[in-house]
Amino acid sequence: MNSAAPLHHQQSRSYVGKRQPRVEDEALLRGLGRYADDLAVPPGTLHAAVVRSPHAHARIQRVAIEAALQIPGVRGVLTGEDVKRWAAPFPVGVRQPMEHWCLAVDKVRYVGEPVAVIIAEDRYLAEDVLDAVEVEYDVLGVSIDPEMATNDDASVLHEAVGSNVVNDRYFNYGDADTAFEQAAHRLSLKVRYPRSACTPIECYVVLGQYDPAEGGYDVMANFQGPYAIHSVMARALQVPANRLRLRTPPDSGGSFGIKQGVFPYVVMMGLAARKVGAPVKWVEDRLEHLQGASSATNRVTTIEAAFASDGRVSALRFDQLDDCGAYLRAPEPATTYRMHGNLTGAYDIHHLQVRNRIVMTNKMPTGLNRGFGGPQVYFALERLMQRIAVTLDLDPLDVIRRNLVPTEAFPYRCAAGALLDSGDYRRGIELGVEQGGLEELRQRRESARREGRHYGIGYTVAVEPSISNMGYITMAQTPEERRRAGPKNGAVSTATISVDPLGSVSVHVSSTPQGQGHRTVAAQVVADVLGISLESIRVDVELDTGKDAWSIASGNYSSRFAGAVAGAVHNAALKIRARLDAIAAQQWQVSVEDIRFGEGRIYTADGVHATSFQRLAGATHWAPGTLPEGETGGLRETAFWTPAELTAPDDDERINSSLCYGFIFDYCGVELDSLTGRVTIDRYVTLHDAGRMLNPQLVDGQVRGAFAQAVGAALYEVFHYNEDGSFASGTLADYLIPTTVEVPDPTILHMETPSPFTPLGAKGVGEGNNMSTPVCIANAVADALGDAVEPGAIELPLTPSKVRMLMGIEEPPRPEGVAEESPQASAGGGSKLSASDSVEIPASPQQVFDSILDPDTLKAMIPGCHSLELTGDNAYRADVTVGVGMIRARFDARVELAELEPPHSLRLSGAGKSGMGDAAGAAKIRFSEIEGGKTRLDYDYEVTVGGKIASVGGRMLSSASKMLIGQIFSRLSQRLSGSTSKRSLWQRLRALTGKRGGDQ
Amino acid sequence: MYVRLDERYRVTLTLNGRERSAYAEPRTQLCDFLRHSLGATGTHVGCEHGVCGACTVMVDGRATRSCLMLAVQVEGRRVETIESLAKEGELNDLQRAFREHHALQCGFCTAGILMSCHEFLGRVTDPSEAEVRDMLSGHLCRCTGYTGIVQAVLAVARARQNNRQETP
């Protein structure tokens, strides 16, 4: 080894891995960014405004545009008739007779759905004219709640389908049934994940042009990809893909998935331009954006685990109901399947059953949204893990640790097919615990609780998938349907590098960045491979489908840049270098292995030969005759890269849905304000293993941004629909995005386990906290609220009013000198209620009857029961906390079982008193055997309350008693079956309060 | 100035130190006037109802939402936008701090945030983090989680403070 060898290695590492400031910033900080609305438009460009539906569901009887056309400056109106003449419905991801056009043609199915487009000489005028279009609607019934939309009597959005459930798939991996039978414990949890969106500050912008000579459309839009959607748009426009030239601007004002949803407007404005024979520009306003752009998919999940007494989970069941809104817009139902291969999270769980249903409701269509499918899955899974810990009285972190995929198991094949590429999850937990200061956080909780404050700690582990397999979307089809359609898989990424005659380097990537800094990282990668300065490289990120290299996986989604696109850039740079290696080796008559690149020079390892990069690269243009045989001259290389690991779904329905899987371990401490219910994040710790970090500053930026959005989703943001489907979150004063005072600075920790599957060892890191943080905060709130709260009631966003309601009002101590009132004395003067109901329990009447007589079961049945003491024959004294409305009181109660007629009927009664008043109730219960060895319990009950409870909570008596009694039988059912009864308490509560609109 | 709804008026103002004028309808928003009539596209429009703060400019030295102001209201007044910050072709200290602290990603909200920070730092020389966060709470940023922005403003305040102390 020659000690005098140059310091430069074959590939120097001057830039990659460094906290490199961004090349993008100089222009953006000067106000010189070129966003879609900043670009020059052709002379004569007209402006569009969109007429939208005020109804959630209605048949369009007539669209009258004559009055609008009379207004000076109006050049045309595009209607559903034009769209039917020139276009086609968008292709749909499931085989169902449902049509989605870029403008409503027969019915409107959500508030804000486009009905017509006014095309006028200026935007202000176009908006004025909106009111001149007269649309006659025949209003129809609505389906808003996803569960109710599945009912037989629900209003159906797409009549030809015959149901709102447009896709229903069942998957079975391993032997979950046996695992559930054999497990010591089973626990089921039903959760609802609401609608929200990451909502960029820049809205949609489209400039459409139509060329009748070629029959082609040329559209500029701030579209983010995936470019598989280009095919969807071309088909809708009924042109070959080369007649839809789609261009993106140099800069984008953020997207986070949302700007995928601009694609129907690309088609719409193309058609608008065709209608008037002039370029048409449309800039979406904020109301249009909030009500009609795109939303995350809301989901109702029932998740169930089979587990041992140490918390080790052997099997999981997911029942997921995904509400994709009014239309199944491409690439939906991708939300449902993005996480499919890794549904078991960071855990080593072998048996898995999944049922996925897609339901249509009268709400805006869903689409890409940062985290895509992840927050929904982890909200169910990690809430369940927390519940398992609470049920077994274990530390939640111990339950997590016991279930992690073992370090020696990587690459690890998950039950549903994901191949977890690399990781060391146990070390991640230990690092997070030590460096994040968990012990101190626990002490803070302890001292807060000593002072009577509501403080809780929540934990989450998650795998963060990146680089989506384009084939995962076909999981919505059956294996047979997939066979007929042909395999879909892979994730082709591309990059092009050119070296011009003066030797300067230009890079093009088809990743359509939305603010992440792709230009900087691409330059870092190329600078290292070619040994030139970062500043000398220019990176172009505009995408023009008419001129640039692209493929269906191009675009900005699934955190694919660092792993896939930067990898393609690296490969393209290697191709350039290989050609220059060969040229230099021939010129100097040395071996290729001796050639080095560094500091803008190309030289031999022994230092004998050297030249500037520009000179040697320029020779490919100026003196091609001097080049080695086979060298073509010119210097431009395009690399396409797709990973072999992304295969199509197999016949056993296993799918490696993503290429890379990062690891996240989060925990946080939160405090609940006992007066207002406001949740304050005391400390948030987030540990990430995203493989090799290409630019740690940008990695931290991604983590912080995702975290802030997740704080919004956890605590503030929700798209609220009223019962009639009207939209109630149409301004940023209604849709609450957190500001500087709500978002704390998280403690960010890193470890690096490089991916073996990407060229640079990097994995995606853009979406992790969107997935992990909402449930981590929810787990902390659950911990702070304690056991008295129904687990399924912890629903996002955890707004102050919701949390305050869950906290209830603790009973104040009885003032000194005030005598105890006797229950009998005041009960007569209070509120009285009687009602009846029934419930089904999966056990025989005798079993049910016997179990009610068992004191342990009785104690478990009574919600809020602290102790139950036998005082006589089937008579007990109980210490119970009961809530009526927001009031929560602790009762000293007598409970009695009488009129026993086994196994046909009995009478359950109770009476108690508290500082807040008194209450008494009795229920006559009848047991009858029904099909399947189950029992139907019919019960008539009577409840009387008196004292403060009656005066303050009297109005709530009916719903509170119904809820309480429902809870008693739901608990009985759970105890007998190991799961909750079919109608959960929360469902009952919703039914009672009539809350069928809401945050769905 | 009296205006009629159906007429266009010539509005003359001082934009970033230069006298400029263009025609506006009485109802033309200041943000649209700046962007489309005067070509100052550095100012961005995010919500048009005064919540997001992206369109913030300085009118006579005060941070103002340009979506909540009409073009005709700035007749004869002084307006500064993000384009005014770089002096002699160089980024100013606030802009440089934004770059150093990764205080921007997509950069769309940045135009308004810079103008609020610019005004704030002119008024408050030794701000606490809480004061900075309070000032920034009139702006929505969807990319950064705000940490870098807060750090950048505090760093500029400290550096200016040090400079003042060094140059008596």
In a domain, A8, yes or no: no
Shared domain check, A522 and A462 = no
Tell if the CB–CB gap between A37 and B35 is shorter than 8 Å. Answer: yes
- Selection from A451, A453, A491, A456 nearest residue A472 by Cα: A491
- Do A782 and A707 lie in a common domain? yes
Nearest CA in chain A to B43: A31
The pLDDT of residue A840: 82
Which of these, B98, B16, B94, lies nearest to B58 by C-alpha position? B16
Whether the Cβ atoms of residue A878 and residue A868 lie closer than 8 Å to each other: yes
Structural domain harbouring B122:
93-166
Whether A973 shows a pLDDT value over 90: the answer reads: no
Distance from CA of A743 to the nearest CA of B (A): 7
Q: Is the pLDDT of residue A984 over 50?
A: no
**Tens-digit pLDDT profile for residues A42-84:** 999 999 999 999 999 999 999 999 999 999 999 999 999 999 9
Identify the CA nearest to A224 among candidates A279, A186, A261.
A261
- Distance between CA atoms of residues B32 and A209, nearest Å: 23
Residues B60 and B99 in one domain: no
B82–A256 CB contact, under 8 Å:
no
A585 in the same domain as A455? no
A972 falls within a domain: yes
pLDDT tens, position by position, A4-31: 333 334 455 689 999 999 999 999 999 9
Asked if the model's pLDDT at residue A823 lies above 60, the reply is no
- Using the predicted structure, report yes or no on whether residue A870 has a pLDDT greater than 90: no
DSSP code per residue over A935-986? EEEEEEEEEEEETHHHHHHGGGHHHHHHHHHHHHHHHHHHHHHSS--SS-HH
Predicted pLDDT at A2: 38
Q: How many CB atoms lie within 10 A of CB A632?
A: 10
Q: What type of residue is A44?
A: G
Q: B112 and B144: one domain?
A: yes
CA angle A900–A902–A903, rounded 5-degree value: 130
Q: Are residues B132 and B158 in the same domain?
A: yes
CATH code of the domain containing B142: 1.10.150.120
Residue A22 has what pLDDT? 97
Q: Do B112 and B56 touch, CB atoms closer than 8 A?
A: yes
Strand partners, B79: B15, B59
Nearest chain A residue to B48 by CA: give it: A286
Domain of residue A884 covers 831-980
Number of neighbouring beta carbons within 10 Å of residue A819? 6
Q: What is the CATH number of the domain that holds A882?
A: 3.30.530.20
Residue with the bigger pLDDT between A899 and A464: it is A464
Residue B1 located in a structural domain: no
What was the pLDDT predicted at A910? 87
User: Does residue B97 sit in the same domain as residue B154?
Assistant: yes
**Is any Cβ of chain A less than 8 angstroms from the Cβ of B56?**
no
Same domain, B19 and B73: yes
Q: Is the peptide bond before A406 cis (omega within 30 degrees of 0)?
A: no
The answer on pLDDT for A1 being more than 50 is: no
Confidence of residue A400 (pLDDT cuts 50, 70, 90): very high
- Of A923, A922, A924, A957, residue with least CA distance to A830: A957
| C-alpha closest to that of A752 among A10, A15, A17, A13 | A17
Whether residue A630 sits in one domain with residue A592? yes
B37 Cβ under 8 Å from any chain A Cβ: no
* Dihedral angle sign, alpha carbons of residues A232, A237, A241, A245: negative
pLDDT higher than threshold 90 for residue B31: yes
Q: B8 touching A, CB under 8 A?
A: no
DSSP state of A295: B
Instruction: Find the helix packing angle between B110-123 and B147-166, rounded to 10°.
Output: 30
Q: How confident is the model at residue A438 (pLDDT cuts 50, 70, 90)?
A: very high
Which among A29, A252, A741 is the nearest to B133, CB-wise? Answer: A741
**Sheet strands side by side (includes A454-468):** A454-468, A658-672, A679-689, A747-751
A142 three-state secondary structure: coil
Q: Indicate left, alpha or beta for A597 from its phi (over 0: left) and psi (-120 to 50: alpha).
A: beta
Tell me how far the alpha carbon of residue A152 is from its chain's centroid: 29
Instruction: Quote the pLDDT of residue A623.
Output: 94
Structure confidence at residue A3 (pLDDT)? 37
**Does pLDDT of B152 surpass 90?**
yes
**Cα of A698 to nearest chain B Cα, Å:** 8
Q: Would residue A162 be called left, alpha or beta, if left means φ above 0 and alpha means ψ between -120 and 50 degrees?
A: left
More confident residue, A222 or A3: A222
Query: How far is CA B65 from each of CA A782, A850, B62, rounded to the nearest angstrom?
Result: 40, 71, 10
Question: How confident is the model over B111-140, as pLDDT tens digits?
Answer: 999 999 999 999 999 999 999 999 999 999
pLDDT band at A956 (very low <50, low <70, confident <90, very high): low
User: What is the rounded average pLDDT of the residues B73-97?
Assistant: 96
Report the residue of A47, A201, A284, A711 to disrupt the B interface, i.e. the one with the largest count of B CBs within 10 Å.
Answer: A201
**Tokens at residue A784, please?**
């702070």
Chain B contact set for A124 (CB, 8 A) = 25, 27-28
Would you say A437 and A685 are in contact if contact means Cβ atoms under 8 Å apart?
Answer: yes
Q: A186-190, A279-283, A348-352, A920-924: lowest mean pLDDT where?
A: A920-924
* Whether the Cβ atoms of residue A742 and residue A711 lie closer than 8 Å to each other: yes
**Shortest CA gap B134–chain A (Å):** 6
* CA–CA dist A596, A414 (Å, integer): 43
Give the domain-ending residue among B83, B109, B126: B83
**pLDDT in the model for residue A136:** 97
pLDDT for residue A966: 77
* For residues B30-42, average pLDDT: 98
Interface residue B107 vs chain A (CB under 8 A) = yes
Q: Point out the domain boundary residue: B83, B115, B146.
A: B83
Is the pLDDT reported for residue A979 higher than 80? no
Query: pLDDT tens for residues A279-291?
Result: 999 999 999 999 9
Q: What mean pLDDT is reported for chain B?
A: 96
- What pLDDT does residue A865 have? 84
Question: Distance between CA A633 and CA A566 in Å, rounded?
Answer: 26
Quick: pLDDT tens for A627-666: 999 999 999 999 999 999 999 999 999 999 999 999 999 9
Sign of CA dihedral A815, A820, A824, A826: negative
Q: Residue A745 is encoded by which pair of tokens?
A: 């600075």
pLDDT value of position B88: 84
Rounded distance between C-alpha atoms, residue A334 and residue A332, angstroms? 4
In a domain, A262, yes or no: yes
Q: Is the pLDDT of residue A772 over 50?
A: yes
Tokens found for residue A42:
């052709």
Contact B12, B1 (CB under 8 A): no
Question: pLDDT exceeding 90 applies to what percent of chain A?
Answer: 78
A650 within some domain: no
Secondary structure element (H or E) that encloses residue A603, with its range: strand A601-604
Q: Best residue in B66, B90, B108 to probe A by mutation, most A CBs within 10 Å?
A: B108
Same domain, B97 and B137: yes
Residue A572 above 90 pLDDT?
A: yes
Task: Say if the Cβ atoms of A732 and B52 lie within 8 Å.
Answer: yes
Whether the predicted pLDDT of A87 surpasses 70: yes
Q: Based on the domain organization, do A764 and A897 belong to the same domain?
A: no
- The residue from B83, B113, B137 where one domain ends is B83
- Spatial separation of the C-alpha atoms in residues A835 and A299, rounded to whole Å: 33
Q: How confident is the model at residue A866 (pLDDT cuts 50, 70, 90)?
A: confident
Q: Are residues A506 and A633 in the same domain?
A: yes
Band (A932; pLDDT cuts 50, 70, 90) = confident
Task: Inspect the interface and report whether the beta carbons of B139 and A739 lie closer than 8 Å.
Answer: yes
Query: Is there a contact between A286 and A732 (Cβ–Cβ < 8 Å)?
Result: yes
Q: Are residues A794 and A902 in the same domain?
A: no
| B104 domain residue, yes or no | yes
Do A88 and A234 sit in the same domain of this protein?
A: yes
**What pLDDT is attached to residue A952?**
58
User: B120 contacts in A (CB within 8 Å)?
Assistant: none
Report B:17-36 residues touching A (Cβ under 8 A): 25, 27-28, 35
Cβ-based neighbour number of residue A466 at 10 Å: 31
pLDDT at A852: 86
**Predicted pLDDT of residue A12:** 57
Per DSSP, the three-state class of A720 is coil
Are residues B48 and A286, on separate chains, in Cβ contact within 8 Å? yes
Q: Are residues B73 and B130 in the same domain?
A: no
Kindly state whether residue B155 falls inside one of the protein's structural domains: yes
Q: Which residue has 């490919």 as its token pair?
A: A620
Question: Is B130 within the bounds of a domain?
Answer: yes
* A110 plus A259 within the same structural domain: yes
Q: How many CB atoms lie within 10 A of CB B73?
A: 14
> Which chain A residue's Cα is nearest to B27?
A124
Q: What is the CATH number of the domain that holds B38?
A: 3.10.20.30
Higher pLDDT: A848 or A887? It is A848
User: A894 forms bridges with which residues in the sheet?
Assistant: A877, A911
Looking up residue A74, the CATH number of its domain turns out to be 3.90.1170.50
Is residue B153 in a domain?
yes
**Chain A residues whose beta carbon lies within 8 Å of the beta carbon of residue B137:** 739-741
Give the count of beta carbons closer than 10 Å to the beta carbon of residue B6: 7
State what percent of residues in chain A have pLDDT above 70. Answer: 93
pLDDT of residue A558: 95
Closest CA to A210 of A266, A261, A126: A266
Q: Which of A26, A203, A253 sits opposite B106 (nearest CB)?
A: A253
CATH number, position A613: 3.30.365.10
- The answer to whether the Cβ–Cβ distance between B46 and A741 falls below 8 Å is no
The alpha-carbon gap from B152 to the nearest alpha carbon of chain A, in Å, equals 13
pLDDT at A960 over 90: no
**β pairing state of A298-307 and A313-323:** antiparallel
Residue of chain B whose Cα is closest to the Cα of A250: B106
DSSP for A667-714, written as a single string: EEEEEE-TTT--EEEEEEEEEEE-BS-S-HHHHHHHHHHHHHHHHHHH
B131 touches chain A (CB under 8 A): no
Pair (B129, B158) in one structural domain: yes
| Confidence (pLDDT) at A976 | 77
Report whether B11 contacts B105 (CB < 8 A).
Answer: no
Please provide the distance, in angstroms rounded to a whole number, between the alpha carbons at the two ends of chain A: 68
**Three-state DSSP class for A782?**
helix
**Exposed/middle/buried for residue A255 (C-beta within 10 Å: 0-12, 13-18, 19+):** buried
CB A425 within 8 A of CB A405: yes
Shortest CA distance from A283: residue in chain B: B45
Nearest to B42 among A31, A516, A737 (CB): A31
pLDDT score recorded for residue B6 = 77
Q: Catalogue the E-assigned strands of A28-184.
A: 46-52, 58-64, 74-79, 107-108, 114-120, 134-139, 165-173
- Inside any domain, residue A294: no
What are the chain A neighbours of B26 within 8 Å (beta carbons)? Answer: none
How confident is the model over A401-416, as pLDDT tens digits?
A: 999 999 999 999 999 9
Smallest CA–CA distance from A769 into chain B, residue: B145
How many beta-carbon pairs under 8 angstroms link A with B? 171
What's the pTM value of the predicted model, to 2 decimals?
A: 0.88
Tens of pLDDT, residue by residue over A154-163, are 999 999 999 9
A349-385 residue pLDDT tens: 999 999 999 999 999 999 999 999 999 999 999 999 9
For residue A681, the chain B residues in CB contact (below 8 A) are none
Examine residue A331 and say whether the peptide bond preceding it is cis (omega within 30 degrees of 0).
yes
**What total of structural domains would you count in chain B?**
2
Residue A557 · residue A510 · CB < 8 Å? no
Q: What is the DSSP letter of A249?
A: -
Does residue B2 form part of some domain?
A: no
Number of Cβ atoms within 10 Å of the Cβ of A873: 9
**Consecutive H or E run containing B130:** helix B129-136
Amino acid A923: pLDDT: 87
* B100 and B156 part of one domain: yes
Whether B48 and A26 lie within 8 Å, measured CB to CB: no
Number of domains making up chain A: 4
B16 touches chain A (CB under 8 A): no
In angstroms, the Cα distances linking A248 to A37, A71, A274, A545 are 11, 33, 20, 9
Flag whether A191 is in a domain: no
ipTM: 0.98
**Same domain assignment for residues B41 and B13:** yes
Task: Answer yes or no: do A552 and A636 share one domain.
Answer: yes
Query: Chain-wide mean pLDDT for chain A?
Result: 92
Q: Please name the member of A21, A200, A705 whose beta carbon is closest to the beta carbon of B100.
A: A21
Under the banding of pLDDT at 50, 70 and 90, the label for residue A921 is confident
Whether the predicted pLDDT of A824 surpasses 80: no
Whole-number Cα distances in Å, A814 to A51, A519, A867, A949 = 62, 68, 21, 15
| Whether B126 and B151 share a structural domain | yes
Reported confidence tier of residue A825, pLDDT bands at 50, 70, 90 = very low
